Amino acid sequence: NPTKATPVHKLITDKPIIKVPGCPPIPEVMSAVITYMLAFDRIPPLDRLGRPKMFYGQRIHDKCYRRAHFDAGQFVEAWDDEGARKGYCLYKMGCKGPTTYNACSTVRWNDGVSFPIQSGHGCLGCSEDGFWDYGSFYSRATGIPQTGIEATADKIGLGVAGVAGAAAIAHATVSAIKHARNKNNTSSENAPEEKK
C-alpha cells in the first residue's frame, strides 16, 4: 500500500461491510450482490475477508481454461514464445490465479467477453488483500505445487516398468523355490525304503 490508504472496513466499524474487490470490481458481481440483498433482505454469506462467497469462493486457477496446461507442466516462458501462441499456462510469467479468489474466469469482463488470462496476461491477484505488496506482477508466486504430468510421464513409466519387472522376478523366484520343494518331496516319496 504505497499511498497508505485506509480501507473502508477500518474506518466504519459499527456497520457490516461487504467487500467487492477487484481492479475494478466486475460490474455483474456488484449488481448481483445488490440484487441478493434486495431479494433476500440480508447480506450474502461472506468469506473470512468479508467478500461474497458466491463470487470469491473459488480460485481463478480452479476455473481457468489454461489449468490443464498447468497440470501438464506446459508454461509460457516468454511473452512471444511457442507456449504463448499455444495458450499455455501463464504461471511462470507471474499469473497469480493459483492464489487469487475471484469470479473473473467464470463471469469475465465486458458482458462475459474476456478476462486478463484469456487476453494473454496473467492474473494480478487484485482481489486479494495487499496484492500490490506481494512482489512484481511478473514474478511468479512461490510454493505452488505443480504436477507436470507430461514432464514426468517417462519417469513414471520407467518406475512402473521397474516395479513390474521386480514383481516378475520375485514371482519367478518364488515359483522356482516351490517347484524345487515339490520335486524334492515327490522324489523322497518315490524313493524305496531302506532296509534295516
- How much is the pLDDT for 191? 58
- How much is the pLDDT for 145? 62
pLDDT at 157 over 60: no
Mean per-residue pLDDT of the chain: 83
What is the rounded CA–CA span in Å between residue 90 and residue 83?
Answer: 9
The CA-based angle 94-95-97, given to 5 degrees, is 150
> pLDDT tens digits for 68-80?
999 999 999 999 9
What is the rounded CA–CA span in Å between residue 89 and residue 70?
Answer: 5
The length of the chain in residues reads: 196
Cα dihedral value 125, 129, 130, 135, nearest 10? -40
Buried-exposed string 180-191: b where 16+ CB fall within 10 A, e elsewhere = eeeeeeeeeeee
Using a pLDDT cut of 90, give the percent of the chain over it. Answer: 54
- How much is the pLDDT for 19? 94
Give the mean pLDDT of 146-170.
Answer: 59
Give the mean pLDDT of 78-85.
Answer: 94
Give the mean pLDDT of 105-124.
Answer: 90
Instruction: Provide the 8-state DSSP code for 101.
Output: B
- How much is the pLDDT for 85? 95
What is the rounded CA–CA span in Å between residue 49 and residue 46?
Answer: 8
Instruction: Provide the 8-state DSSP code for 136.
Output: -
Give the mean pLDDT of 12-41.
Answer: 94
pLDDT at 53 over 70: yes
Q: Which residue has the cell 521386480?
A: 166
> pLDDT tens digits for 94-107?
999 999 999 999 99
What is the rounded CA–CA span in Å between residue 32 and residue 177?
Answer: 73
What is the rounded CA–CA span in Å between residue 8 and residue 107?
Answer: 25
Give the mean pLDDT of 81-103.
Answer: 94
For residue 57, name the pLDDT band (cuts at 50, 70, 90): very high
pLDDT at 35 over 70: yes
> Please, are residues 59 and 47 in contact by the beta-carbon 8 Å criterion?
no
What is the rounded CA–CA span in Å between residue 47 and residue 33?
Answer: 14
pLDDT at 151 over 50: no
3-state secondary structure of 70: helix
Which of 180, 184, 61 shows the shortest CA–CA distance to 123?
A: 61
